[in-house]
A and B are shown apart, each in its own frame.
Chain A
Amino acid sequence: MKRYSIMILVSLLALSIIVSGCGSKGASNTGANDNDKGKPAEISIASWNLQADALDEAAEKFNASQSEVKVNVRRVSNSYDSIVPALTAGIGAPDIVAVQMRDFANFMGKFPDQFVDLSDELMPRKDEFSDAGWGASTKDGKIYAIPVDIAPTAVYYRKDYFEEAGINPDNLTTWDKFMRAGKKLQSKLDGVKMTTFSLTSNETYDFWQMIANQLGGRFYDEQGKIDFTNEANIKAMKLVKELKEKDLVVDSPSWNDRVRAVVNGETATIVYPIWWAGTVKTQAADQAGKWGIMPLPAFTEGGPNQANLGGSVFAVTTQSEHPEAAWKFLKYLLLTEEGQKIQMDYGLFPAWKPFYKSESFATVDKYFGFSLAKRFGELATDIPAMKFGQYFYDVSRPLETAFGQILNGNKDIKEAFKDAEKAASKASGLPVSK
């Protein structure tokens, strides 16, 4: 009899362990009942780095200003490591996700049922957002994400280095002039190179994309076929190669290396969008007032000198139990001056145009000594649109390989791009343009 009861106990224990594992699924449903009782609807929004910092502040203010919605900020990596499994499994995703513009088309393609259709709210307000921000949010005529920030690009330069070398930034209107000034600067200043970007890792891609964008480069032709060998792309690559060959670049294979180059004063300039300002402010706090902004040099006098690198969108997931609450927060965050001011403080340039006319837009930044927003705003008027497409990941990886082959293997640019086209075609299933 004693053995009998021990048996029962053990089997009950085993069963309870298994059942408790299944029980957690039910817990998330209790949230939906809270709203009825008058408690705030809790929603979570996920993002990374400075964007997450901005959200912390915005959430605090939003939560304090009303009691129907409580926003929690979830910090994630910018490679979506914790988001993708949740979207794949269909449970556990936050109510609002931040996705980079170039990745969102891919997300829409792979997770067609995971994002809420926001067309009703956003279609009537489409023109309130900059063209550059609409690169990825639409599919089949419906809007699935709200543009958050765009990333107009400029050249950050050390005012003190330029002065010492006798260079006037207003004269650097073309890349040829930029390179000549670079040689002059390097001869006068020891241990400093003109600029920095990655020469040896796959992050060369970022610098190339800014230049290609400036020239109107693209990945696909009008019919959506893969096209890397267009003139703009090749010209951009030629510039990258020339900068390396003229020894004007400090090699910074990773983000941290670029920060180090800036903090240690090894580079006189860095070509990056507005969101780099936040990093400079926090990492090189002792260099306040030494950095200036100048537009990208053009390739010919008076030629195009605007580009975009980055930008993100927010999407509401269909897994969310409080989509209306999520929209309320998004409205505060992105469609009011107060919300956009917080974004601006963290170096995130709004895609929402009405903010450009507000007073906060023109505030002088304490670190830089002039209005960052206004300066970059001037460089955000004619940014050529760049289509990333649903298969951007498959398309960009072969390009990264090609850059390595060109810069470190001396492969011919056109040949390397042609090989990249073939690899991208294989990976994405799209045909190559003739």
Chain B
Amino acid sequence: MKDFFRKNMKNISPYLFIAPFFMLFIVFFLYPIFYSLVLSFSKWTSGGLEFVGIQNYLYLLTDPVFWKSLVNTGQILVIQVPIMLLLACIVAVLINSKHTKYKALFRLGFFVPVIIDLVTYSLVFSLMFNERYGIINQFLTSIGIEGIPWFSNGIWAKVMIAIAMTWRWTGYNSIIILSGLQSIPGTIYEAATIDGANKIDTFFKITIPMLKPVLLFCMILSTIGTLQLFTEPYMLTKGGPNNETLTAIYYIYDRAFGSFKFGLASAGAYIVTTIIGILSYIQLKVSDGGEI
């Protein structure tokens, strides 16, 4: 008995150590994932669940507002992510350059937006972009340009959200890219200068290709994050004007906490997850898994 115990004790200890995390993981991750799968096939009232098959999914796929929210999210994604990643690359290269002094200060400055919580910064942005009193429009009118309809025009509203997101996440991505830059051997740059390449050439022909794995990582993360966009439209535009900035997750949130249709919202969540999964897979395939 004692021998049996002693032999297996060595194997039990790792499991005991990860047990607490696993308990939390099961309760707060695994269980909700399965429960919402069940929910997505049911109709919910506080009395109980009623099985309705794929009714929720069909409703969503035939709802023009749901499609609009997907299109809006896609539009913001396609514009914001590439621009942000390019900016992040430039920022990272500039911080990394041997001519830059006070690197730590710049790293801090670009990263601080990431630490600020979403609600607070959205609130400040909504004040800054206020069409009549905001500082942005006041500045524009002072140099002779008419104030921009940030909230009442669909396209400008999307631009405003893209600006807000870029401000917030560029620093985060540039720090990741910065670490990627450290792994590029300096000898390649030396060889390039000997061959007569200028700064711009080196950036586009050496730096970016060598950063492929890091860029892929950032791109997938940004895609996942932007597809789940909610806080900025909720705080800034409430999905307006006319559902022009209604994103997929905002639509789902509305169904869940506005109409209390938890089954429908769960189905929506699964649809969005599937889309994210497909897009991530495509990105991985197209870039050969990030191999340089």
Contact = CB atoms under 8 A, between A and B. Distances in A.
Contact of B45 (A112, A257, A409): A112
Contacts of B59: 426
B107 to A, nearest CB: 36
Interface string B56-80: 0001000111000000000000000
B259 A401 contact: no
A11 B16 contact: yes
Which of B9, B47, B132, B238 lies at the interface centre, i.e. has the most chain A CB atoms within 10 A of its CB? Answer: B132
Contacts of A408: 152, 241-242
A200 B47 CA distance: 39
B240 A201 contact: yes
Contacts of B262: 88
A44 interface: no
B169 interface: no
A253 interface: yes
Interface string B254-278: 1001111010000000000000000
B17 interface: yes
A260 B133 contact: yes
Contacts of A427: 259
A180 B63 CA distance: 43
A7 B241 contact: no
A391 B258 CA distance: 10
B151 interface: yes
A112 B47 contact: yes
Contacts of A84: 257, 260
A202 B238 contact: yes
B46 A87 contact: yes
Nearest to A84: B257
B46 A110 contact: yes
Interface string A185-200: 0000000000000011
B20 A14 contact: yes
A374 B55 CA distance: 53
Contacts of B47: 112-113
A394 B259 contact: yes
A200 B238 contact: no
Contacts of A64: none
A55 B238 CA distance: 30
A393 interface: yes
B223 to A, nearest CB: 28
Contacts of B151: 200-201, 253
Contact of B238 (A4, A7, A201): A201
Contact of A18 (B13, B20, B132): B20
Contacts of A404: 240-243
A135 to B, nearest CB: 19
A51 interface: no
A18 B23 contact: yes
A394 B264 CA distance: 13
A18 B16 CA distance: 13
Contacts of A7: 9, 12-13, 16
A113 B19 contact: no
B130 to A, nearest CB: 8
A253 to B, nearest CB: 6
Interface string A397-434: 10001001100110000000000000100110000000
A13 B16 CA distance: 10
B40 to A, nearest CB: 16
Which of B12, B19, B238, B260 lies at the interface centre, i.e. has the most chain A CB atoms within 10 A of its CB? Answer: B260
A266 to B, nearest CB: 9
Contacts of A3: 9, 13
A164 interface: no
B236 to A, nearest CB: 11
A111 B238 contact: no
A153 to B, nearest CB: 24
B235 to A, nearest CB: 12
A186 B20 CA distance: 69
A10 interface: yes
B259 A90 contact: no
Nearest to B126: A254
A20 to B, nearest CB: 12
A114 interface: yes
Interface in A294-341: none
A81 B262 CA distance: 15
A106 B261 CA distance: 11
Contact of A426 (B17, B45, B46, B63): B63
Nearest to B260: A110
Contact of A393 (B9, B20, B259): B259
A27 interface: no
A201 B59 CA distance: 27
A14 B16 CA distance: 8
Which of B13, B63, B240, B262 lies at the interface centre, i.e. has the most chain A CB atoms within 10 A of its CB? Answer: B240
A260 B239 CA distance: 23
Contacts of A409: 242
Given A90-B46, A426-B63, A393 B238 contact: no
Nearest to B18: A14
A186 to B, nearest CB: 17
Interface string B3-19: 00000010011001101
Contacts of B20: 13-14, 17-18
Contacts of B46: 87-88, 90, 110-114
Given A114-B46, A394-B259, A408-B152, A200 B241 contact: yes
Nearest to A10: B16
Nearest to B68: A401
A342 to B, nearest CB: 31
Interface in A19-36: none
B90 to A, nearest CB: 36
Interface string A360-398: 000000000000000000000000000000010110010
3 smallest CB-CB distances across A and B, nearest first, come from A200-B152, A404-B242, A110-B260
Interface of B: 9, 12-13, 16-17, 19-20, 23, 45-47, 59, 63-65, 130, 132-133, 151-152, 238-243, 254, 257-260, 262
9 contacts: A4-B9, A14-B19, A88-B46, A110-B46, A113-B47, A201-B152, A201-B240, A404-B240, A426-B63
Interface of A: 3-4, 7, 10-11, 13-14, 17-18, 79, 81, 84, 87-88, 90, 106, 109-114, 199-202, 251, 253, 257, 260, 391, 393-394, 397, 401, 404-405, 408-409, 423, 426-427
Given A202-B240, A257-B130, 9 more contacts: A17-B20, A79-B257, A111-B46, A113-B46, A201-B240, A251-B152, A408-B152, A423-B65, A426-B63
